Structure 1
C-alpha cells in the first residue's frame, strides 16, 4: 500500500494554485511534490519571498480538493564552486525549511549538486574532497532542519557526490540526525550497462538504510544511445511491480512520486500500480 504522489510540474497548463488543486484531484491523487519555481515561474519564490501567508494560502486551496503538499522541492547546487552563489542557494534552502510547515509539507527536498557551476556528469564529483565538502554543507542544512522541526530530504544520483549506496551510508554515518532522510530514486543510480539489476539495487538500499528512506521516486526509463531516458510509467524498462512491492513491504504508505509521468499518463500509471500492488494485511 503506497501513498502515491505526483510532481506539480508534471501537470501541463497549470497557472494558479486552484488549477493545480483541481488537476491533481482530477488525476485521483492526494499528494504533491511541489516545486514552486517550476509550477509557478512568474511567482517570486526565492529565499526572501516565502512567508507564512503564502504557505497557508497554498495549503488552504489544496485542502479544498483533498490534496496536500507532501514534499516541498528546493533543488539547488549545494556545493556550487562560487562561494557567494553557494551561500545564496543555501540560504534559500534554509528559508524553505523555515516555511515548509506552513505549506503542510513533511520535508524539503534537494539533490546534492555538482563541483561545477552547472550540474552535469563529472568524475570530479567522486573524489573524497567533494564528498567531505558535501558532508559539511548537509550538516549545516540538517542543523537548520532541526531548528525548524523539518526533514531534509536528500536525493542521491550519479551526477552528484552522493553517487552510490555506499556513499549514502557514509553520509548517514557522518551526519547522524533524525531530521536527515533519503529520497531514493533508483533510476538516478543506474546506467545503460547495469539497469537490469534495478530490483536488486532497491533491495540493497532498503536493507542498508531503509530506516532513513523518507520517500521514493518511481521513474520509468528507456535506454537510447547508451543513455537512460525518462518516460511515462509503463512505457519503459522499470520493474515497477517488484519495486512497489519492496516499498510496500518495508515502508507501507510511504510517499512514492511518479516522477516524469505526465498529464493523462498519470491515470494509466495509477491503474498499473493498483493492479500490481500487494495488498497489506492491515486496514486503515
Structure 2
C-alpha cells in the first residue's frame, strides 16, 4: 500500500480489551490502531491518568504498532455547538483530553465532530460556535503538537467540501484541517471531489463502503460491498499528495468478528495497492 494501513477500534466488539485489539490488528497486517475515547467503563476513557495512557502506548510499541489518531463519539452527546454553554464546555474538555492522550500516544491527529445542526440550533449559529470552539482548541493543539481533523458526518452540517474548506481557512491554524470520511459523503456527493477540494487541508482519512440504494444508516457496509468508486478515490488521494493513514470505521460482525478484521485488511490491500 502506498498509504499506511490502520483500523478503528469500533471495528472490534465492544467488550474487547485494548491488548487483544492490538494483537488482532498486528496479526492481520495493520500498522496502526485508532482508539476511541469514551466514558465510564470504556477501556480508553476520560479519567485515565498519564501513566495509564503511557501503558497503552507501551502495549502498542511492544507490537510495533502506531496509534496514529484518536477519535470519539462523545461530541454527539456534548456538541461544541449546543445551546447550553455547559454542554459546549464539556465538549471542549473532551477534545482537550483527546489532544492530551494523542500527545502521549505519539498520535498526529484527533478526530472532531465540529457540531450538530438541530431544530433548536440553526445552521448559522452552529457555524459560528464551531468556528469559535476550533479557534480556541487550535491553541491547545499547537501546545500538544497534535492536529485537529474535523470530520464530515451525518450531522446536517458542513454539507459541502467548499463549506468545510471555508471553515478550516477561517479558523486559520496549521493545526486544524479535515478528517475526511469517504463513505459519509456518497449519499449526497462524490468523495473524489471532496478530496480534491480539501486538498492540502486533508489530515486523515476514514473509509467504509455505502450502498446508495439503501440510502440510510443501514447502507454502510464493509469495503468493496457498496458503491464507493475506489479507483477515483485513490486517484484523487494521490493527486493531492496524501500520504497518511487510511482507517476503516466499520461495525463489527455479530459472529466471528475477527473475520471482519481479516477481510478488511485484504480489501485495503486490494483497493490501495
Tell me whether the two structures share a fold, i.e. TM-score over 0.5. Answer: yes
Distance 1:144 1:234, change over 3 A: same
Q: Distance in 2 between matches of 1:166 and 1:110?
A: 18
**Residue 282 (structure 1) aligns with:** none
Q: Distance in 2 between matches of 1:131 and 1:13?
A: 33
- C-alpha RMSD of the superposition: 2.5
> 1:50 touches 1:96 (CA, 8 Å); kept in 2?
no
Do residues 223 (structure 1) and 221 (structure 2) align? no
Q: Which runs of 4+ in 1 moved over 4 A?
A: 122-125
Distance 1:50 1:162, change over 3 A: farther
3-state DSSP of counterpart to 1:264: helix
Give the length in aligned residue pairs.
Answer: 262
Structure 2: runs of 5 or more not aligned: 253-257
Once the two structures are TM-superposed, the CA of residue 214 in structure 1 deviates from its matched residue by: 0.7
**Residue 93 (structure 2) aligns with:** 91
Do residues 205 (structure 1) and 194 (structure 2) align? yes
After superposition, where does 1:145-224 map in structure 2 within 5 Å? 145-191=141-187, 194=188, 198=190, 201-202=191-192, 204-224=193-213
**Residue 111 (structure 1) aligns with:** 113
Once the two structures are TM-superposed, the CA of residue 131 in structure 1 deviates from its matched residue by: 1.0
TM-score (norm 1): 0.82
> Which residue, out of 235, 250, 255, partners 1:245?
235
Once the two structures are TM-superposed, the CA of residue 222 in structure 1 deviates from its matched residue by: 1.4
Distance 1:83 1:123, change over 3 A: closer
> 1:3 touches 1:255 (CA, 8 Å); kept in 2?
yes
250-259 vs 223-232, which deviates more?
Answer: 223-232
3-state DSSP of counterpart to 1:78: coil
1:196-242 Cα offsets, whole Å, 9 max, x none, are xx2xx42x333323111011111101135542521111111112233
**Residue 32 (structure 1) aligns with:** 33
3-state DSSP of counterpart to 1:208: helix
Structure 1: runs of 5 or more not aligned: 117-121, 279-284
Distance 1:221 1:137, change over 3 A: same
**Residue 62 (structure 1) aligns with:** 60
